[in-house]
Amino acid sequence: MVKELHDAENFTLEEKDIDSLTEEDLFKLLHLENTKGSDVHNSGFQYLVRGYIDYAREVLTNRALEDIRDGLKPVQRYALYWMFKEKAKDMIKSEQVGAGVLKYHPHNADSAYESLTKMVESNGTFYVPLLIGKGELGKKFSNGSPAASRYTSVKFHENAKEMFTAMDGIDMVWNFDDTERVPEVLPASVPYILMKYADGIAVGFSTKSPSFLPQDVTNLVREYIRDGKCSTMIVPDFSTGGFISYTEKELEKLMKTGKGSFMTRGKVFIDGKNIVVTEVPQGVTVEKIMKEIEKAEIQGITPNGYSDLTGKDGCYFEITCRAKNRVQEVLMELYTKTSLQKKFNSNLLAVESKKLVITGVWGIIDRWVKWRRKVLTRQTRLDLAKLVESAKYTKGFIDLLAIEGARDEIVELTTKKSDNDAIKRIQEYIQCERDVAEWIIKRRLNQFRNDNKYINQYANYQIEIAKLEKYLENIDTLILEDMDRFDLLVSKKHERRTEITNKVYEVETVKEDEIEIPVSECYYQIKDGFLRKLHVKPTSGEGIIFEGYTNSTIIALSSEGEIFRIYGNDINYLTGNDIGTYIPTYSGLANAQHVQLIWATVCDEKKYVLTYEDGFVGFLDTAEFLVGAIKSKYLRNGISAHADKLTDVREYQEDSVIVVETHDKLYACAHLDSIKMKSRTARTRVWYTDNLYDSAIIPMNEISKRVPNYMTLFNKKPVMYNGEMNLWGEVRVYEENSEELLASS
């Protein structure tokens, strides 16, 4: 296939004419290049090769791949067209549709039925469904077969209207036996190929195309029409839901080449010692996961401890662990050993006018818009020609009726003499072509008395003609109107189903002392001095909980001002009956009964503001524990000796205000940048009080909205505050307040 970079359009394109597939191409597809010149190449082999080329062309053109223009495989297209032609607005037996498809397409009836079921809303495979079904028509997340076609029925979904918006604008071609005329493609009003998941294998080729949010796709069309190319990157969204994690680099490859990769993951919730899967990655079934669990022999799952409890409401796959404290361990094994987490390697391969095309999302938009312009131009010209002709007839009738005595004479000629006499007389009156005169005499007699009707009709024709002529001057106007209509009727009903996340389990490795150590995101929990590393956020919410990486450096503060440093690589995930790693012992303290940990975080080069009960403020820079000379796991003098008065810790933000609250509901504030940033063991007095309770850091661009009368709080002593106050809006760093932290000690 010839690969060409289109700099102007910002995408790559690979094309190959299917009809020109050669023996050499076939050898490459089948990896037989090295057999040339050998005894294998006899006359019999050559005969097989020629036959296989014909087979490859048939599969590629008429079986396995979607067309860029309408996004459908031939069998799906013909099913919709048969229903359109039969005007099947009400439920019709699936068996009848399958039989209708066979008139157009030499396909197996069972295969045709299977393709039909995937377009049905209840099946869920198509992100934007085209049919409504009745009966058991299968599910996207299950291998279960649909009921026999004689027991199920289908009808058009309202979305299907968008596939038939300009039927006169497309080419009709002969079917396989030259007995029926069928559309080459349907005139889809949107790039439907980007709104449906596709996964197929052809002869030496395969396609794997993700689906996208309809609104994102229509916005790309608008961008292309406005700028002449696309530049916005859109994220796949699957009908199965779940999670998706991607890098900007891979997403850009998907946009430009169609070959990006990203990680997908199912959605679960924990119910006691049960893990319940409610959403699976696209292309994965519950049965597949069950087989993988059986093969992986995950020890934490009870014997035969998994069951598919899926019902009408959706996926519900339950996995029972041996004990509650093994749930985290089992969940990680499910992510790493089964398809509950799976890499999606996209390859946007499709056909267009008997050409194989591999291109990116932006390339698809480019080709689709250029094709749609041709369709709408052709349709609009035909509509215009029809209107011009109708206007010509109506104008002739109006002109005739305007001539005094003409209407009575023509009525009399038509009723008492011959049509030819009437036609000749009409032509004499208005000097028109014969077809106009023939049209006039076919009017009913009472219409010769209804001048106003035809005058209004002619005026409307003129308006419509002017409108179509304007469209032809800029056909993109029609495409944009299509996008607006589609968004109003379809896109607004579809919100993102696949959540975007940056959490991927063990997807990269780093080398340390020749040993590869997995690195991934995780949660840490400190309770009663014990540190636990967890795969998912604990549901109890007890203790100090924060996110980090498996190799993060962690610091924890004690009520006596000590700092403990813990290296994430030294901590194992919580498994079995483990209660975690006791931090004081880990840090080398022999007698650690006095240690009460009140706050902890990962070292991420952020600065923190320490607020003390007696009105002092200090600062802590976590970067010191990453790049500084301090290597010790324990610092006796970590922060101020007055650490017993520490009441709150908040993330430092430039150009912000710190607002403090006392136990008596008195308030004060100060510009954070006005407080001198000293070493972590030093403090600065800011307020005169002995009972500060809590604090909030609020950016200057938000302070007037969240604390409207904040200027009254710039005092050395906390005062009463009158008015509404929202100290902890979206920018609040910690959910626990100091009272909760100190209570844990």
Distance CA 435, CA 704 (A): 78
Q: Residue 546 in contact with residue 651, Cβ under 8 Å?
A: no
Q: Which residues contact 318 (CB under 8 A, 6 or more apart)?
A: 274, 275, 276, 277, 306, 307, 309
Q: Phi, psi at residue 671, to the nearest 5°?
A: -70, 125
Q: Residue 209 in contact with residue 197, Cβ under 8 Å?
A: yes
Q: What is the 3-state secondary structure (H, E, C) of 163-182?
A: HCCCHHHCCEEECCCCCCEE
Q: Which two tokens stand for residue 429?
A: 């009156």
Helix (H) or strand (E) holding 327: helix 327-337
Strand pairing category for 597-602 and 581-582: unpaired
Distance CA 355, CA 508 (A): 38
Look at residues 519, 528, 577 and name the one whose alpha carbon lies nearest to residue 551: 519
Distance CA 610, CA 651 (A): 9
Q: Kindly provide the b/e burial profile for residues 109-142, where b requires at least 16 CB atoms within 10 angstroms of the residue's own CB.
A: eeebbbbbbbbbbbbbbbbbbbbbbbbbbbbbbb
| C-alpha Rg value of the chain to the nearest Å | 36
Q: What is the 3-state secondary structure (H, E, C) of 221-286?
A: HHHHHHHCCCCCCCCECCCCCCEEECCHHHHHHHHHCCCCEEEEECEEEEECCEEEEEECCCCCCH
Q: Kindly provide the b/e burial profile for residues 147-177, where b requires at least 16 CB atoms within 10 angstroms of the residue's own CB.
A: eebeebbbbbbebbebbbbbeebbeeeeebe
Q: Residue 599 in contact with residue 557, Cβ under 8 Å?
A: yes
Distance CA 509, CA 179 (A): 61
- Which of these is catalytic: 55, 151, 567, 688? 151
Q: Residue 362 in contact with residue 255, Cβ under 8 Å?
A: yes
Which residue's structure tokens are 């053109």? 61
Distance CA 305, CA 307 (A): 7
Q: Which two tokens stand for residue 578?
A: 């483990």
Where are the extended beta strands (E) located within 100-205? 131-134, 153-156, 172-174, 181-183, 198-201
Q: Which residues contact 597 (CB under 8 A, 6 or more apart)?
A: 526, 529, 544, 556, 557, 558, 559, 564, 583, 744, 745
Residue 148, sorted as left (phi over 0), alpha (psi -120 to 50) or beta, turns out to be beta
Sequence-ordered alpha helix ranges (H) in 594-678? 624-627
Cα dist from 229 to 338, 480, 487, whole Å: 40, 15, 21
Q: Which two tokens stand for residue 261?
A: 């990769």
Between vectors from CA 604 to CA 738 and to CA 331, what angle results, nearest 5°? 85
Q: Is residue 151 flagged as an active site residue?
A: yes
Distance CA 600, CA 623 (A): 14
Strand pairing category for 607-612 and 515-519: unpaired
Integer distance in angstroms from the first to the last C-alpha of the chain?
A: 68
User: Which residue numbers are catalytic?
Assistant: 151
